């Protein structure tokens, strides 16, 4: 049976995530049939094996999750979740902004816009646990995580805080791996979910 990966298409880098997952599957050389598609409705989530929550504006994404009746389906989703930037914000247990209603799927606190405004966006090569060489990360109005709970593995940190976490079938990143050409984190996520 084939693998179905959805990208939450409420806002943000939807097409970039679709391309990145397709590239990861090609690079890995999986023999399994993999379909990657945008999703917007609760009924589209039910049959997925994995889901990406892309970057964008976290207060807007949080509001659209509620407006589209996706909050409970996301909390109850049994597949893997790959969350980047604003996705990392909504995955948290708590957020420093009361306008965001987090899903609470991973036990950490998140600081939105930890590096400042859009003009403070930057790129950096960061060490990621388990990768053989640094990962070139693109940070755009990025968050950082604090106080990870039991069972959460910190994959990467920089001076300002934690930028990559993993817990079983979940991966949360403060940067945008879908904007580069390095498929290693997408591959790692899919392998963690036993989809490759």
Structure token digits, residue 105: 């799927």
Are 50 and 190 in contact by the 8 Å Cβ rule? The answer is yes
Q: Where are the alpha helices (DSSP H) in the chain?
A: 14-28, 42-45, 58-67, 71-76, 86-91, 184-192
Contact 179, 55 (CB under 8 A): no
Q: Which residues are annotated as catalytic?
A: 85, 176, 178
**Alpha-carbon dihedral of residues 136, 14, 69, 102, nearest 10 degrees?**
10
């Amino acid at each position: 049976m084939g693998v179905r990966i959805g990208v939450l298409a409420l806002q943000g880098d939807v097409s970039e995530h679709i391309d990145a997952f397709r590239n990861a599957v090609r690079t890995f050389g999986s023999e399994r049939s993999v379909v990657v598609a945008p999703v917007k409705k609760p009924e589209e989530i039910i049959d997925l094996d994995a889901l990406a929550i892309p970057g964008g504006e976290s207060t807007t994404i949080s509001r659209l999750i509620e407006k589209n009746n996706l909050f409970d389906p996301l909390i109850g989703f049994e597949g893997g979740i790959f969350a980047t930037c604003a996705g990392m914000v909504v995955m948290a247990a708590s957020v420093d902004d009361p306008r965001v209603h987090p899903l609470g799927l991973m036990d950490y606190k998140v600081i939105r816009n930890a590096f400042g405004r859009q003009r403070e966006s930057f790129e950096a090569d960061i060490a990621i646990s388990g990768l053989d060489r640094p990962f070139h990360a693109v940070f755009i109005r990025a968050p950082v995580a604090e106080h990870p709970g039991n069972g959460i593995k910190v994959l990467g940190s920089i001076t300002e805080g934690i930028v990559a976490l993993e817990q079983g079938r979940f991966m949360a990143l403060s940067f945008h791996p879908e904007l580069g050409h390095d498929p290693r984190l997408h591959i790692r996520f899919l392998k963690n979910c036993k989809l490759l």
